[in-house]
Amino acid sequence: MREIVVIGGGASGLAVALETKKRGRDVLLIEREEDLGGILNQCIHNGFGLEVFEEEYTGPEYANKYIEEFLKLDIDYHLNTTVLKIEKTNNYFEITMSSKARGIEKIKAKAVVISTGSYERSRGSIIMPGERPYGVITAGSAQRYLNIDGYMVGKRVFILGSGDIGLIMARRMFLEGAKVLGVAEIMPYSNGLTRNIVQCLDDFDIPLYLSHTVTDVKSGESNRLESIVIQKVDENFNPIENTAKVFEVDTLLLSIGLIPDIALLDNLEVVVDSLTKSAKINQAYETSVRGLFICGNSLQVHDLVDNVTLESIRAGKCVSDYLEKKLEKNNESIDIIPGKNVGYVTPQVLDFSWSPKELIISFRGKKKMEKTKIKVFQNNELVFEKFKQFIVPAEMETIKLDYSKLNKFDELGISLEEL
Amino acid sequence: MGKKTFTCIVCPRGCRVTIDDNMNVTGNKCLRGEKYARTEMTNPTRILTTTVKTTFKNMPRVSVKTEEPIPKELIMQAMEEINKVTIKEQKKIGDIVIENILDTGINVILTKPLIRNEVKNEEVHLSN
């Protein structure tokens, strides 16, 4: 029997494994790829690590810092191994995993941490009219093909969605010799960091079409993408007539959002939050299933890997506490609810059986706001407030609360108010 | 000419910095922003990140970067230089791939260790 099994060896899983190992726990990490590091391995651009190291690294460099430490601490791991199923019996979890080298195996664990990251929304999750040719792929897949495997997915490229991956790929494809004809964003503002608009689009004169979306996809010979049509949209996102622009492209990259990957929770009775599309957690990163923890992008999609690391270190601390039996179940808990202008909040539950006194709440604003007060209420009473110059949906906000001040009965509400 | 405002790209924070005719910088939250604004006005530079071909089956491409920012107008030329290179032997992270690229005085270095599969960390690592 293992004390802790961590599923996923990216930024989140590495941090959890390191933190728990340093606290003297027995931990096994399972990674399905042939290398540790997760998505960082294909994010070859720079901009990682400013928060944690106060220095700027590329994705692989950032990953390597943790991989080196991981190997030095002699932590157990499996590579090329996919977890198929997690089941819970009374006192432990049973994990079924599969690998080419060893076939199907089962192991037992007292605690499980899900750090499986997120997956990309694909064409199927938005209503995109037109034909279904080759050449319409997600930006992250194109990034992997180019940066890891070393081949270009196309020569004339258009990008739908202005998330950071889309912007980064616009520059990347351009640098490798592709013609990048533009980026369309359905919202009136970009979803990516401003710095990426500047250094990925403006630097190379790649146009950004705000309030535009793809309204037709046409295939040419041998069913390869031949052209797309974009149109301006109104405030209800309906295409406006006579605004159509045609682009002859062989590739359409989709950068239309990430969704936490929680497929492994299917066999467990986990309560899911429709807002985060992941498990609901308490302040110890524990799901509604005792001993099952979740963090990183599989909990909530982060903008910066630094925040994934910091969150996962906190989660690792909590898992260690759990195994040291520092908590006693007492059923006292309250809900944490997103209020006015707040898109989602984690944790969703404050469980008073857990000890650390500090409560860290992450959330996202629903819209762009200026001169904003973050307010936390309990039973109509203001328990916390903080001024914030700008709130944008593209950036996750984090606040710290001292929860010894809170009562144990009334739900906690978080709202944003413009001054 | 007056003032010019733009977004600082030194880090993901993205400060709006303003620079006037006398090269006075405002709006920056750190010193790097001041330096960035001045460079952006006189000689804009960027760190270039890309990949290099290898002869390794398990890693056909390995990621690299310029150690320091290089002049913006040299970026496409630098890409051409980097794309001429094929690495044939194992290298450590930080090792130099191209020395003094385009006479900028700046090296192109590996951002990932390049290790052949056979000597890589074993697939299963269990200490006991």
- Predicted complex ipTM: 0.89
**Would B104 be classed as within a structural domain?**
yes
Assess if residue B53 is contained within a domain.
Answer: yes
pLDDT in tens, A25-35: 999 999 999 99
Residue B76 shares a structural domain with residue B19:
no
Distance CA A95, CA A87 (A): 6
What mean pLDDT comes out for the span A143-156?
95
B53, B63, B65 member nearest A147 (Cβ): B63
Measured between beta carbons, the chain A residues lying within 8 angstroms of B11 are: 47, 50, 56, 195
Q: According to the model, what pLDDT value does residue A90 have?
A: 82
pLDDT digits (tens, 9 = 90+) for A328-375: 666 788 999 999 999 999 999 998 887 666 789 999 999 888 889 999
Could you tell me the two tokens for A316?
């690792």
On whether both B11 and B59 belong to a single domain, the answer is no
pLDDT score recorded for residue B1: 55
| B positions 39-98 inside 8 Å of A (CB) | 46-51, 53, 58, 60-61, 63, 65, 72, 75-76, 79, 93
Q: Which domain holds residue B110?
A: 49-119
User: Are B35 and B74 in the same domain?
Assistant: no
Mean pLDDT of chain A: 93
Interface test with B, best of A193, A302, A395 (most B CBs within 10 A): A193
Interface test with B, best of A1, A21, A34 (most B CBs within 10 A): A34
Which pLDDT does position A392 carry in this prediction?
A: 83
Chain B positions touching A175 (Cβ under 8 A) are 48, 50, 75-76, 79
Confirm whether B33 is domain-assigned: yes
pLDDT at B43: 87
Residues B61 and B83 in one domain: yes
Tally the domains of chain B.
2
- At A124 the pLDDT is 84
- B126 within domain boundaries: no
Same domain, B36 and B8: yes
Q: Are residues B10 and B29 in the same domain?
A: yes
**Single-letter amino acid code for the residue at B30:** C
Domain membership of residue B71 (yes or no) is: yes
Q: In this structure, what is the dihedral angle of CA atoms A18, A19, A24, A26, given to the nearest 10 degrees?
A: -60
In a shared domain, residues B55 and B37? no
- Say what the pLDDT of residue A327 is: 64
Bond prior to A60 in cis (omega within 30° of 0): no
Least confident of A247-251, A255-259, B25-29, B91-95: B25-29
| Residue recorded with tokens 């700046």 | B106
Q: What is the pLDDT of residue B122?
A: 55
Averaged pLDDT for residues A118-146: 93
Closest alpha carbon to A173 in A162, A161, A182, A185: A182
Which amino acid, residue A387?
F
pLDDT at B119: 47
B121:A71 CB<8 A? yes
Query: Looking at the predicted structure, is the pLDDT value of residue A158 above 60?
Result: yes
* B37/B93 same-domain check: no
Residue A193's pLDDT is what?
80
Number of A–B residue contacts, CB under 8 Å: 97
The low-confidence residues of chain B, meaning pLDDT below 50, are 119
**Domain presence at residue B78:** yes
Residue range A387-406, pLDDT digits in tens: 998 888 888 999 998 877 88
- What are the start-end ranges of the H helices in A257-374? 305-323
Q: What is the pLDDT of residues A279-304, one digit of tens each?
A: 999 999 999 999 999 999 999 999 99
**pLDDT given for residue B86 in this prediction:** 97
Q: Are residues B66 and B113 in the same domain?
A: yes
Residue B9: name the closest of B49, B42, B39 by CA.
B39
Kindly tell me if the per-residue pLDDT of A108 is higher than 70.
yes
Q: Are residues B105 and B65 in the same domain?
A: yes
Mean pLDDT of A244-262: 96
Query: How much of chain B is in helix, strand and coil states, percent to nearest 5?
Result: 25, 30, 45
Q: Let me know if residue B127 belongs to a domain.
A: no
Which token pair is A79? Answer: 């590579």
Would the CB atoms of A61 and B111 count as touching at under 8 Å? yes
- If asked whether residues B112 and B65 sit together in one domain, one would say yes
Is residue B76 domain-shared with residue B108, that is, in the same domain?
A: yes
Query: Is B125 inside a domain boundary?
Result: no
**pLDDT (tens digit per residue) in A192-206:** 888 888 889 999 999
- Amino acid at residue number A100: K
Mean predicted confidence (pLDDT) in A124-148:
94
Domains observed in chain A: 1-120+258-327 (3.50.50.60), 122-256 (3.50.50.60), 331-419 (2.60.40)
> What is the structure's pLDDT at B6?
82
Q: A64 at the B interface (CB within 8 A)?
A: yes
A268-292 b/e (C-beta count within 10 Å ≥ 16 → b): bebeebebbbbbbbbbbbbbbbebb
